[in-house]
Amino acid sequence: MYEGDIASVLLTEDQIQERVKSLAAEIAERYPVGSPQGDLLLVGVLKGAIFFMTDLSRALPIPTQMEFMAVSSYGSSTSSSGVVRILKDLDKDIAGRNVLIVEDIIDSGLTLSWLIRNLSSRNPGSLEVVTLLRKPDAVKTDVNVALIGFDIPNEFVVGYGLDYAERYRDLPYIGTLDPKIYSDDGDL
């Protein structure tokens, strides 16, 4: 699939699945069952986090509920526009709930810092973040993320939910994209 488009495999399907299981165990320890705030509410950030959200929720040995939010700052580009737009909001009120934002990647950190501000203003009981991937620039921002799957180099990656111009999300592994794919854009 996508022959010639992927320059290298950064994380194999097995590496991803192993880390998802260990993150699930860490999360379960943090959220005891029977909390007065009710079941843990996973807020998946569409579309990138879809596979991480589904695999993580099924690996969690505690009851969880799911909500989704769609925001976009990248469009058909490999760098963030800096402007975050809500494409789909949550369906339910999160006041008083234990909320865990589920992200696929923190790159510039712009999406997440905006999302944390936005969801905090809705008065959740607690608000934390789990991200599968984090790039070096995100470390410089003030976004405090307790649960990180992998710290990765500053390269544009695709697969396991991550896209370039909506393609490659369906790859089961995470790889770097051959620069020939985006060099025509004048974007990098």
From residue 21 to residue 60, what is the string marking binding to ligand PRP with x (rule CB under 6 A)?
Answer: ------------------------xxxx------------
CB of 26 to ligand HPA, least distance (A): 24
Token pair in block for residue 90: 């949550």
H-helix or E-strand spanning residue 134 = strand 126-134
Cβ-proximal residues to 156 (8 Å cutoff; 6+ apart), any chain: 78, 164, 176, 177, 182, 188
CB of 155 to ligand HPA, least distance (A): 7
CB of 156 to ligand PRP, least distance (A): 11
CB of 43 to ligand HPA, least distance (A): 18
- Per the annotation, the verdict on 107 as an active-site residue is yes
Stretch that binds ligand HPA, among 6-14, 35-43, 138-146, 150-158 (CB under 6 A): 150-158
Q: At what angle do helices 13-30 and 50-59 cross, to 10 degrees?
A: 60
What sections of 60-127 are H helices per DSSP?
Answer: 110-120
Cβ-proximal residues to 75 (8 Å cutoff; 6+ apart), any chain: 81
From residue 43 to residue 82, what is the string marking binding to ligand HPA with x (rule CB under 6 A)?
Answer: -------------------------------x--------
Is 130 among the residues that bind ligand PRP (CB under 6 A)? no
Strand stretches in 29-111, DSSP E: 40-46, 64-72, 85-88, 98-106
Is 2 among the residues that bind Mg ion (CB under 5 A)? no
Is 74 among the residues that bind Mg ion (CB under 5 A)? yes
List residues with catalytic annotation: 107
